[in-house]
């Protein structure tokens, strides 16, 4: 539970090792159901690995994950999804030969929604993501920004309590990024799900997120409001000040 009693997704003391590599090294993370948390850091910091642990695609070497009062550390991916934990991926993973509607509706059916409920929720999510006019278009024919929005609509069709987004603005132009920002703000308000966002678009992160957690070399470097993170000397040195220089130092 979060400090105000709101149900939360909680990771405690997470470690992930791949052989001798410590991908995650003792990270704690909390996402309340009414919050928007940005997870940022240089390439190789452990962000996607952390998302994989939360969503069940990677088992931690040590530590635990809780969803509300339930310990879900060993739960399978589908069980987490059916209990309100959804995610997107860096790749959209759409079924290109199916229509936009079929992609989203199929996800609803996979979550055990009835055919009628899946149709209703699909129409609502396509409306929310400004996709309804493309509902009967093959997914493969969409521009990249449209594919991104379909992937989010598909993750939202089951009305999750928590949605984890892995670089949702990657490849989007400035206009598309602004549209995504407004859609996510509206969705979080209407549905009330907690959002965790990995993103390199700092403009989107700073405008959307209420709090930000910074990872570096698998450890938490800082947690705070966007303003606090922007002014943190260690964060500026590791990431915000000159990301290119930071990445070069890892070669």
User: What is the average pLDDT value for the chain, to the nearest integer?
Assistant: 89
Using a pLDDT cut of 70, give the percent of the chain over it: 93
Q: Are 85 and 54 in contact (CB under 8 A)?
A: yes
Q: Are 86 and 155 in contact (CB under 8 A)?
A: yes
Would you list the DSSP string of 177-239?
HHHHHHHHHHHHHHH--EEEEE-S-HHHHHHH-SEEEEEETTEEEEEE-HHHHHT-HHHIIII
> pTM for the whole thing?
0.86
> Rounded to an integer, what distance in angstroms lies between the CA atom of residue 144 and that of residue 240?
27
Indicate the angle between helix axes 174-191 and 144-156, nearest 10 degrees: 10
Q: Please tell me what DSSP assigns to residue 76.
A: -
Of 4-8, 29-33, 172-176, the range with the lowest mean pLDDT is 4-8
Which token pair is 181? Answer: 């920002």
| pLDDT at 121 (0 to 100) | 94
Please state the separation of Cα 241 from the chain's center in Å: 24
Averaged over 237-251, what is the pLDDT?
A: 54
Could you report the per-residue pLDDT of 20-71, keeping only the tens digit for each?
899 999 999 999 988 999 999 998 999 999 999 999 999 999 999 999 999 9
Residue with tokens 């949605």: 163
- Reported in sequence order, the residue ranges of 45-143 that DSSP labels E, i.e. its strands, are 62-67, 70-71, 85-87
Averaged over 107-129, what is the pLDDT?
A: 93
| pLDDT at 247 (0 to 100) | 43
> Rounded to an integer, what distance in angstroms lies between the CA atom of residue 73 and that of residue 75?
6
The pLDDT confidence band at residue 153, using thresholds 50, 70 and 90, is: very high
**Which residue segments constitute the domains of the chain, with CATH numbers given?**
1-77+160-251 (3.40.50.300), 92-159 (no CATH)
Residue 106 exposure: Cα atoms within 13 Å on the Cβ side? 10
| pLDDT at 34 (0 to 100) | 86
Indicate the angle between helix axes 174-191 and 115-128, nearest 10 degrees: 130
**Whether pLDDT at 248 is above 70:** no
């Amino acid at each position: 539970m979060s400090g105000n009693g709101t149900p939360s997704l909680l990771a405690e003391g997470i470690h992930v090792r791949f052989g001798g590599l410590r991908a995650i090294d003792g990270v704690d993370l909390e996402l309340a159901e009414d919050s928007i948390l940005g997870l940022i850091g240089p390439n190789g910091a452990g962000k996607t690995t952390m998302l994989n642990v939360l969503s069940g695609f990677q088992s931690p070497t040590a530590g635990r994950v809780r969803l509300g009062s339930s310990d879900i550390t060993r739960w399978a991916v589908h069980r987490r999804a059916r209990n309100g934990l959804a995610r997107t991926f860096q790749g959209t993973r759409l079924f290109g030969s199916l229509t936009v509607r079929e992609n989203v509706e199929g996800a609803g059916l996979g979550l055990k929604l009835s055919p009628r409920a899946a149709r209703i929720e699909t129409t609502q999510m396509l409306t929310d993501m400004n996709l309804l006019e493309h509902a009967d278009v093959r997914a493969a024919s969409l521009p990249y920004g449209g594919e991104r929005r379909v992937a989010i609509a598909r993750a939202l069709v089951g009305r999750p309590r928590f949605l984890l987004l892995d670089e949702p603005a990657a490849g989007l132009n400035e206009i598309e990024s602004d549209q995504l920002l407004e859609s996510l703000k509206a969705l979080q308000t209407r549905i009330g799900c907690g959002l965790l966002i990995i993103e390199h678009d700092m403009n989107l992160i700073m405008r959307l997120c209420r709090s930000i957690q910074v990872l570096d070399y698998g450890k938490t470097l800082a947690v705070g409001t966007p303003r606090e993170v922007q002014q943190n000397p260690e964060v500026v040195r590791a990431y915000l000040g000159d990301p290119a220089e930071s990445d070069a130092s890892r070669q």
